[in-house]
Chains A and B, each alone.
Chain A
Amino acid sequence: GAGVSQSPSNKVTEKGKDVELRCDPISGHTALYWYRQSLGQGLEFLIYFQGNSAPDKSGLPSDRFSAERTGGSVSTLTIQRTQQEDSAVYLCASRAGGVREQYFGPGTRLTVT
């Protein structure tokens, strides 16, 4: 079946604007994760969903960041009033219940000018 998909693949926005990033996980995967990767760095955990609830939001860097998941499937990460330091690649991953491996999407490269 299809893998994890993310849209848009690239997003350029002006400082202060809001952006929405979308993730379509693998069908049937109950767990969904958002990570952020700044230039040349490793990945930083942002938020974890199990079904539609988010038991771990500990990685969200500020209250400008929020995420939701509907129908146990698609997730949207919203960044309000974007700042230049938000520029990064945002990666989504999903995982089936009972296994440990995460399957990553291709990411959204966000550039805040």
Chain B
Amino acid sequence: SQQGEEDPQALSIQEGENATMNCSYKTSINNLQWYRQNSGRGLVHLILIRSNEREKHSGRLRVTLDTSKKSSSLLITASRAADTASYFCATDAAGGYNKLIFGAGTRLAVHP
């Protein structure tokens, strides 16, 4: 079963705008990861935030984690058409062999 939920399910923005995606989860975690998927195939790891971290940056990506609310957000700044993809959060549950439990994803469309 899915660990969490993501919102929005779909997001459509113009190039240059910021995109924010949210993720909620249910159980205790070791870390939370964000992945990108193009064209419904392989996933690419974007960023990992540990349970004792609150915010992390990587290039145009900013991830926040609130363990008290069991939620995370991914912000993509200054979006580009090439950012068009589906974005998934995945939780690495405590004691779970590092298997990932994925949310349903957010489909992001960035228009030129």
Contact = CB atoms under 8 A, between A and B. Distances in A.
A101 B45 contact: yes
Given A100-B33, A107-B42, A41 B97 contact: no
A101 B48 CA distance: 8
Contacts of B11: none
B104 A41 contact: yes
Contacts of A4: 42
B25 interface: no
Contacts of A100: 30-31, 33, 48, 92, 98
B44 interface: yes
Q: Interface range on chain B: under 10, 10 to 19, 20 to 34, or 35 or more?
A: 20 to 34
Interface residues of A, number: 27
B104 A42 contact: yes
> Which secondary structure characterizes the binding site on chain B?
strand
Interface string B44-64: 110010000000000000000
B99 interface: yes
B42 to A, nearest CB: 4
A75 to B, nearest CB: 15
Interface of B: 2, 30-31, 33, 35, 40-45, 48, 88, 90, 92, 96-105
11 contacts: A33-B99, A33-B100, A35-B100, A42-B102, A45-B100, A48-B99, A56-B96, A89-B41, A100-B48, A100-B98, A104-B44
Interface of A: 4, 31, 33, 35, 37, 41-45, 48, 50, 55-56, 59, 89, 91, 93, 95, 100-107
